[in-house]
Structure 1
Amino acid sequence: MKGHLSHDCLLEVPAAVIWDVYRGLELADLLNQLLRDVIGTAEVVRGDGGVGTILKFTFPPGTPGPGYMTEVLTIIDDEQRLKEGEIIEGGLKDVGFKVYRQSLQIIEKDARSSIIRSSVDYEIDDELQELASLATTEPMEQLNEAVGKYLKQKWESSNN
């Protein structure tokens, strides 16, 4: 069984400003700073933020399931402003998902606003299809909202 989920988040920040943060490791730093108690923490296992970088996410105490996941960055496309990673260990991979891929794309709406499209693509054995309900874009939505609020304040204060 294959599935796809997607969610759009509108931000009043230019696409280039958002992409500067999302394309590299600054996004992991902001996760640690803004959402440590909600989503957890991120640490670089290997790499410089480019394709092939491996990140380990440790979830906050009380989060159901495995307490961590490890993700490898598989795509960073500056033209499309697209970043994609695939879970290689822990998280939903440990409960039976064959493939669990997350992507974030920054879409320019106009000179002052953008859309962050969060997507999840997954594969799971048909016998485990009841677990498909565990797939979600919610952590990425929370991240986009928090980082968007942070960037909007930072961008507005530097442009006034």
Structure 2
Amino acid sequence: MFGEAEYELELNVAAGEAWDLFGTLEIGKFVEQQLPHLIQKVEVIEGDGGVGTLLKLTFELGTGGPNSYKEKFTKIDIEKRIKETEVVEGGYLELGFTLFRVRFEIIEKGVDSSIIKITIEYEVKEEAKANASFVSINTLAEIAEAAKIHLNKNKAPN
């Protein structure tokens, strides 16, 4: 069974500023510091933020999903401002998922305006399809909302 969830949020900053946060390891540091009630720890296991970078995410208990998993950066397109990660160990894979991918896309809207589009794509084995209910865009939406506030506070004056 294949599924998808999406979330979009307009940001009041240029696409390049949003990409500097979402397209790099900075988003992990931001979440760990600003939203510890969602994600307790983001550990870089291997890599420098490019394709192949491996992270271990440890979630706060009671967030509704897995307690931890490892994810790998599988695609980074700087020109199109797209970053994709896939769970490669633990978490959703232990719940019968064969694919759990998150895509961050920064879309330029104007000089000081952009959109963050977050997409979750997943495949789950037929016998585990009830576990698809664990998929939620809510945590990523909360991260995007907090990032919007952070980016606006740190916006460079014109």
TM superposition score category, shorter chain reference? over 0.9
The corresponding residue for 1:113 is: 113
Identity of aligned residues (%): 39
Alignment check: 8 A CA contact 2:74 2:85 kept: yes
The answer to which of 92-101 and 64-73 deviates more is: 64-73
Tell me the amino acid that sits aligned with residue 95 of structure 2.
Answer: V
The corresponding residue for 1:146 is: 146
The answer to which of 67-76 and 86-95 deviates more is: 86-95
Tell me the amino acid that sits aligned with residue 153 of structure 1.
Answer: K
3-state SS, counterpart of residue 56 of structure 2: strand
Q: Summarize the alignment of residues 43-58 of structure 1 with structure 2, pairs less than 5 Å apart.
A: 43-58=43-58
Alignment check: 8 A CA contact 1:9 1:116 kept: yes
Tell me the amino acid that sits aligned with residue 123 of structure 2.
Answer: E
The corresponding residue for 1:16 is: 16
3-state SS, counterpart of residue 152 of structure 2: helix
TM-score (norm 1): 0.92
Alignment check: 8 A CA contact 2:65 2:135 kept: no
The corresponding residue for 2:6 is: 6
Question: Could you tell me how far apart the structure 2 residues matched to 1:66 and 1:149 are?
Answer: 27
Question: Could you tell me how far apart the structure 1 residues matched to 2:3 and 2:67 are?
Answer: 24
TM-score (norm 2): 0.93
Question: Could you tell me how far apart the structure 1 residues matched to 2:66 and 2:83 are?
Answer: 24
Question: Could you tell me how far apart the structure 1 residues matched to 2:101 and 2:122 are?
Answer: 6
Question: Could you tell me how far apart the structure 1 residues matched to 2:23 and 2:55 are?
Answer: 14
Q: Summarize the alignment of residues 66-77 of structure 1 with structure 2, pairs less than 5 Å apart.
A: 66-77=66-77
CA change 1:66–1:4 in 2 (3 A) is: closer
Tell me the amino acid that sits aligned with residue 122 of structure 2.
Answer: Y
Alignment check: 8 A CA contact 1:108 1:114 kept: yes
Alignment check: 8 A CA contact 1:39 1:139 kept: no
Question: Could you tell me how far apart the structure 1 residues matched to 2:33 and 2:56 are?
Answer: 16
2:98 pairs with 1:98 = yes
After superposing on structure 2, the runs of 4+ consecutive aligned residues of structure 1 that deviate more than 6 Å are: none
Q: Deviations over 1:70-123 (max 9, x none)?
A: 100000101110000000112211111111001100001111111110001111
CA change 1:62–1:134 in 2 (3 A) is: closer
Structure 1 gaps of 5+ residues are: none
The corresponding residue for 1:30 is: 30
The corresponding residue for 1:135 is: 135
RMSD of the TM alignment (CA)?
1.4
Structure 2 gaps of 5+ residues are: none
3-state SS, counterpart of residue 30 of structure 1: helix
